[in-house]
């Protein structure tokens, strides 16, 4: 009886609710504006300026407003285009590798482990964020160097006669650095996405006689794709912009796009740095657009995005 | 009252006061500036935080702020971060006059306002007008930098692995293939390579101090060829990284700075800073007077006093002792004559370092050029080397 009364109260709001609803709508709009203003001032405006400056002309050491394609032209055919290409390849490799690892971990945590345990493990995966990235990368050089722990152990165990040079200052080391830097980021969206899949679908698939692999391939994987794409985006964006890993672990001038942007700013070539940055930003935006168009984000972000339906 | 609340509030108050204190330490304060000179430095010009002698003589405090030495870092600090209105003096590796003066960031130095200037015979000897070192402090016949530190760079090696080495050829010797490290810097590693190629007759380079595009391209091509043969293990980017490469014996031959060798030796390493027959990469630090629109005449006067102080014996001896670089001609004498301030071993060290750097300057080599005519081409070629 009490419950019914309560429901009735909600169903029949007092007569002043219309006005209050308006106020609420306005309040909501104003609240929504705050993040929009924040994003506008701190993200859209600087990015717009970056794109604008990439078309500016250099005049001696300074630069002046103009519409010049000089910076973009100097990119084409130069070494920087190779750097961009290599950055894309390395970022793709690292993202793919991280994705496989992160998916396995997230799947295990979401499906095979008690929620309480999963929470603890997830918290542990935030620990890498608490360690300074330089400390993390430098400790790899201590571990993987010619006289480092790993090589010493391998040689002491008689597995190798001489130190393995490819452990450090190599493609391997860069991949290791990138994967360990960004893979933990990728576990979280994957965990959310896999965890949100209705278990009844999986059970139904099993009851209908599908093997676990078929169930995974036809049910779990497709339904977790929004999380996969979100994770891939996190990883890719991070890897493409990374500049410390190649510097510390890359060896002989393992130059990625972040490094070449910094380097061009060393000679005050801001339009060129802006042009390189604009290209990278454009790539990212295209990826975001792809994500937005292809996936229904509600399955990943829940009802926050209900308005889109 | 819930005791937890009190605790939390206290904790927050503590956190706030700590962060406020930290903020005070980092942000240069103009507010207390009636008697403060804001001094930006790359980590070399700090006399262990002791400015008491300057304060006693001038009444002014010094607020030292660390900045990076890369040209972009210096220019960004002055232009983008409003440093021009904040700093009075910046002490960096010299040779930056072209970007600094052309962008109207520093002032001409009136040498008559510094009594110690005339006593600094190094200026006449190495850095004066018409001398190759002039590019470190002067621009278009005018003086813009006060020389604070002088040094000659070569490379280091582990004698137990390589025996004695006396030429930059060691950096490119197939015997040490894969056991060589270079600095990630076209004005040091690039210029040392150019010096070697010129002296060995391997490339036609008129002036390693200021190469043409063709000349620097030849240097880059040579380095890329070496890189592809696997000559280099790594190119380093930081002081600690270079020290670590030496102490872990990751490489045997390394293009580096002498203080790294001092540090490695202090850790018990047998490492030698080479005396190459081709000579040294010579350089000097310069203290520039920032063109600060907020500065009063009294403050400018105090800034000159600081510049003069830095040319003096106590400061010179202190910096030589702390950093291992030659500073000014009064340093060694001052340290010897003031045993209360500099014990005998420190005075001896100052004298030894000074004599050693003097020897390098007399031997010659090439003067590092931080802003060569074709600096942008250098940068893009260096990118090509790194990306190859």
Q: Residues A98-114: pLDDT tens digits?
A: 999 999 999 999 999 99
SS3 assignment for A137-156: HHHHHHHHCCCCHHHHHHHH
A73 touches chain B (CB under 8 A): no
- Average pLDDT over chain B, rounded to an integer: 88
CB contacts < 8 A, A to B, total 94
Using a CB-CB cut-off of 8 Å, the residues of chain B touching A170 are none
* Banded model confidence at residue A7, pLDDT cuts 50, 70, 90: very low
Q: Is B277 exposed, middle or buried (0-12, 13-18, 19+ CB in 10 A)?
A: exposed
Residues contacting B154, CB < 8 A, separation 6+: B168, B192, B273, B274, B275, B276, B280, B281
- From the list A61, A147, A252, which residue is nearest B234 (CB)? A252
- From the list A146, A263, A268, which residue is nearest B383 (CB)? A263
Spatial distance between the Cα atoms of A211 and A203, rounded to a whole number of angstroms: 11
B102 touches chain A (CB under 8 A): yes
Q: Which residue has the tokens 């802006």?
A: A274
Using a CB-CB cut-off of 8 Å, the residues of chain B touching A248 are 237, 241
Spatial distance between the Cα atoms of A195 and A203, rounded to a whole number of angstroms: 14
Alpha helices for B27-158 (secondary structure H): 52-58, 71-75, 97-102, 121-122
- Mutation target among A255, A266, A270 for the B interface, most CBs of B within 10 A: A266
CB-based contact B387 A86, cutoff 8 Å: yes
Residue B173 sits at φ, ψ, to 5 deg, of -75, 125
B96 in Cβ contact with B371 (< 8 Å): yes
Question: Which pLDDT tens digit goes with each residue over A244-298?
Answer: 899 899 888 778 898 888 888 878 888 999 999 999 999 888 888 887 787 765 5
Residues contacting B41, CB < 8 A, separation 6+: B64, B65, B66, B67, B90, B91, B92
Spatial distance between the Cα atoms of B80 and A105, rounded to a whole number of angstroms: 44
Helix (H) or strand (E) holding B288: strand B280-289
User: How far is C-alpha B68 from the geometric centre of its chain's CA atoms?
Assistant: 10
Using a CB-CB cut-off of 8 Å, the residues of chain A touching B234 are 169, 251-252
A98 in Cβ contact with A182 (< 8 Å): yes
**Could you tell me which residues are beta bridge partners of residue B288?**
B90, B145
Question: Which pLDDT tens digit goes with each residue over B316-372?
Answer: 999 999 999 999 999 999 999 999 999 999 999 999 999 999 999 999 999 999 999
The pLDDT of residue A243 is 87
Q: How far is it between the farthest Cα atoms of chain A?
A: 87
- From the list A147, A247, A269, which residue is nearest B237 (CB)? A247
Spatial distance between the Cα atoms of B256 and B189, rounded to a whole number of angstroms: 9
Of B237, B325, B285, nearest in space to B40 by CA:
B285
The pLDDT of residue B157 is 97
B382 touches chain A (CB under 8 A): yes
Question: Which pLDDT tens digit goes with each residue over A37-80?
Answer: 999 999 999 999 999 999 998 876 677 888 988 889 888 877 88
A262 touches chain B (CB under 8 A): yes
Residues contacting A241, CB < 8 A, separation 6+: A257, A258, A280
Q: Among B202-206, B270-274, B294-298, which stretch is predicted with the lowest mean pLDDT?
A: B294-298
CB-based contact B234 A262, cutoff 8 Å: no
Using a CB-CB cut-off of 8 Å, the residues of chain A touching B388 are 79, 253
- From the list B99, B232, B382, which residue is nearest A268 (CB)? B99
A39 touches chain B (CB under 8 A): no
Q: Which residue has the higher pLDDT, B155 or A260?
A: B155
Distance from CA of B329 to the nearest CA of A (A): 34
A158 touches chain B (CB under 8 A): no
∠ Cα B63 B64 B66 (to 5°)? 145
Q: Is the pTM of this model over 0.90?
A: no
Percent of chain B with pLDDT over 70: 91
The pLDDT of residue B34 is 52
């Amino acid at each position: 009886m009490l419950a019914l009364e309560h429901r009735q109260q909600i169903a029949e709001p007092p007569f002043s609710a219309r006005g209050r609803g308006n106020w609420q709508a306005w309040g909501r709009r104003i609240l929504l504006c705050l993040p929009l203003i924040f994003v506008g001032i701190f993200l859209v405006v600087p990015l717009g300026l970056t794109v604008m400056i990439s078309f500016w002309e250099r005049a001696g050491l300074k630069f002046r407003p103009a519409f010049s394609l000089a910076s973009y032209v100097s990119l084409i055919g130069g070494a920087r285009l190779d750097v961009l290409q290599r950055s894309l390849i390395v970022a793709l490799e690292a993202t793919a590798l991280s994705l496989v690892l992160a998916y396995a971990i997230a799947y295990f945590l979401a499906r095979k482990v008690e929620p309480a345990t999963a929470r603890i493990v997830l918290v542990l995966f935030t620990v890498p964020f608490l360690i300074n990235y330089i400390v993390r990368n430098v400790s790899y050089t201590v571990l993987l160097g010619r006289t480092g722990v790993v090589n010493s152990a391998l040689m002491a165990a008689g597995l190798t006669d001489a130190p393995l040079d490819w452990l450090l200052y190599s493609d391997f080391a860069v991949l290791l650095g990138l994967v360990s830097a960004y893979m933990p980021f990728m576990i979280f969206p994957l965990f959310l996405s896999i965890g949100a899949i209705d278990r009844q679908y999986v059970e139904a698939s099993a009851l209908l006689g599908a093997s676990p692999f078929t169930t995974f391939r036809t049910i779990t994987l497709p339904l977790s794709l929004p999380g996969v794409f979100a994770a891939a985006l996190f990883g890719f964006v991070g890897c493409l912009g990374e500049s410390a890993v190649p510097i510390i672990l890359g060896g002989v001038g393992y130059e990625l796009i972040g490094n070449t942007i910094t380097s061009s700013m060393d000679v005050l070539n801001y339009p060129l740095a802006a042009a390189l940055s604009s290209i990278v930003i454009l790539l990212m935006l295209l990826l975001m657009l792809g994500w937005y168009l292809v996936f229904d984000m509600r399955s990943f972000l829940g009802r926050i995005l209900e308005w889109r339906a | 009252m819930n005791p937890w609340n009190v605790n939390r509030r206290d904790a927050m108050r503590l956190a706030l006061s700590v962060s406020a204190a930290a903020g005070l330490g980092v942000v240069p304060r103009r507010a207390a500036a009636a008697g403060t000179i804001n001094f930006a430095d790359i980590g070399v010009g700090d006399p262990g935080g002791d400015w008491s002698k300057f304060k006693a003589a001038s009444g002014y405090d010094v607020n030292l702020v660390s900045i990076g030495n890369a040209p972009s870092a210096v220019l960004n600090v002055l232009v983008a971060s409003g440093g021009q209105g904040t700093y009075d003096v910046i002490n960096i590796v010299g040779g930056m006059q072209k970007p600094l003066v052309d962008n109207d960031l520093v002032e001409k130095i009136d040498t008559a306002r510094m009594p110690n200037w005339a006593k600094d015979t190094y200026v006449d000897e190495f850095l004066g007008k018409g001398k190759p070192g002039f590019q470190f402090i002067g621009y278009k016949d005018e003086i813009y930098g006060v020389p604070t530190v002088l040094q000659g760079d070569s490379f280091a090696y582990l004698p137990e692995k390589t025996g004695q080495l006396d030429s930059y050829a060691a950096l490119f010797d197939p015997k040490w293939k894969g056991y060589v490290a270079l600095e990630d810097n076209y004005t040091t590693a690039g210029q040392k390579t150019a010096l070697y190629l010129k002296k060995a007759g391997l490339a036609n380079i008129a002036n390693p101090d200021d190469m043409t595009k063709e000349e620097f391209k030849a240097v880059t091509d040579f380095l890329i060829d070496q890189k592809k043969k696997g000559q280099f293990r790594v190119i380093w980017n930081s002081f600690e990284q270079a020290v670590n490469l030496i102490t872990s014996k990751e490489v045997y031959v390394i293009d580096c700075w002498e203080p790294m060798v001092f540090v490695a030796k202090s850790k018990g390493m047998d490492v030698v800073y080479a005396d190459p027959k081709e000579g040294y990469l010579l350089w000097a630090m310069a203290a520039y007077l920032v063109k600060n629109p907020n500065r009063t005449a009294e403050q400018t006067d105090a800034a000159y006093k600081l510049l003069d102080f830095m040319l003096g014996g106590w400061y010179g001896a202190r910096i030589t002792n702390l950093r291992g670089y030659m500073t000014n001609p009064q340093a060694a004498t001052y340290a010897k004559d003031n045993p209360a301030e500099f014990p005998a071993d420190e005075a001896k060290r100052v004298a030894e370092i000074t004599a050693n750097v003097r020897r390098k300057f007399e031997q010659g080599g090439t003067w590092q050029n931080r802003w060569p005519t074709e600096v942008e081409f250098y940068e893009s070629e260096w990118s090509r080397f790194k990306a190859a």
